[in-house]
Amino acid sequence: MRIATWNVNSVGARLPKLLDWLGTAEPDVLCLQELKCAEDTFPYDEVGDLGYEIAAHGTGRWNGVAVLSRVGLTDIRRGLLDQPGFQADGSMFETPEPRAVAATCGGVRVWSVYVPNGREVGHAHYDYKLRWLEALRGTAVEELAADRPWAVLGDFNIAPNDEDVWDIAAFDGCTHVTPDERKALTALIESGLAEVYPRALKYDVPFTYWDYRALRFPNNQGMRIDLAYGNEAFTSAVTDSYVDRNARKGKGTSDHAPLVVDLDLS
C-alpha cells in the first residue's frame, strides 16, 4: 500500500497538478491539506474518475483537509477530540476550523491534519496551535486503543530538529522551531507513535516546503514540516519513504512537496 500526504495550497488552483500526480505516483491513499474549498465544491468527479473515494472537510477559502482512497473509505471522522477553535482575541469559535479528517482505508486508520501555523510567538494563534496539538495528542491516545495500523500525516507546521530548516539562525525567535512546539511533537510520540522519516534523495535533509519567494526552492532553502507518525503496526510495515521533490518543480505548483510512505501489510 502506498500512502502519501500533500499540502496542495488550494485544490482548485492545483487540480491539474494533483490529477497528474495521482496518475503517475498512484498512491492508494492520499491525505490532502489546505484545500481552500468547501466540501460541496471539492472536485469529486475529476478525482473520482481516477478511482478514488473522497472524505473532504472544508468550509471554503482557508484550511480544509481530505483523505482520498482507492482501497476503501469507511469510519470517516471530521475533527479532533475536544478540538479548539480560534478567534483573534483567543476565544473559541463554536465550530472548530476544518483541520483534521480521518478514515479507515484498506485496514489502515489514517488521519490527515493541518496544524495551525502559529503566526508568531506570543500571538493568540501560537497558543491556539499548542492547544490544537494537545487535542491531537488526546485523539491519538483514543485512536490507539484500537488494534490496527494507525497513522497521522500532514502539514504539522513544525520542524522537529534544527537541521530540518535550511538555516536555524534565520528562525531565531520564530515559530515552527520553538521548544514548546517540539515538546508537543514529543508528547505525540510518547502517546505511542514513531516518526516515519523519509530517505534522502538529492539532498541530505528531505525538506517538504520551500517559500515561493527569494528563490528558496532552487537554492534548497526549505523546511521539513510535512510529517508522518504511526503506531508500531504501521511503522513496522514501512518499506520505503521519500519526498517527491519533482512535484514542487515548475510553474503553478504548491509550495509543498508530497511525502510518500510505502507499506507491506501482507
How distant, in Å, are the alpha carbons of 96, 158, 250 from that of 242? Answer: 32, 18, 20
Among 125, 126, 155, 229, the active-site one is: 155
Q: Is 255 annotated as a binding residue?
A: yes
Per DSSP, the three-state class of 226 is strand
Q: Is 246 annotated as a binding residue?
A: no
Please give the grid coordinates belonging to residue 185. 511533537
Spatial separation of the C-alpha atoms in residues 66 and 209, rounded to whole Å: 19
Among 114, 126, 128, 229, the active-site one is: 114
How distant, in Å, are the alpha carbons of 8, 25, 37, 208 from that of 114? Answer: 11, 22, 14, 14
Is 256 an annotated catalytic residue?
A: yes
Q: Is 155 annotated as a binding residue?
A: yes
Is 212 an annotated catalytic residue?
A: no
Among 57, 125, 176, 256, the active-site one is: 256
Q: Is 256 annotated as a binding residue?
A: yes
Give the DSSP letter of residue 113: E
Report the interhelical angle of 124-143 vs 179-190 (nearest 10°).
10
Q: Which residues pair with 33 in a beta bridge?
A: 7, 65
List the binding residues: 7, 34, 155, 157, 255-256
Active site residues: 114, 155, 256
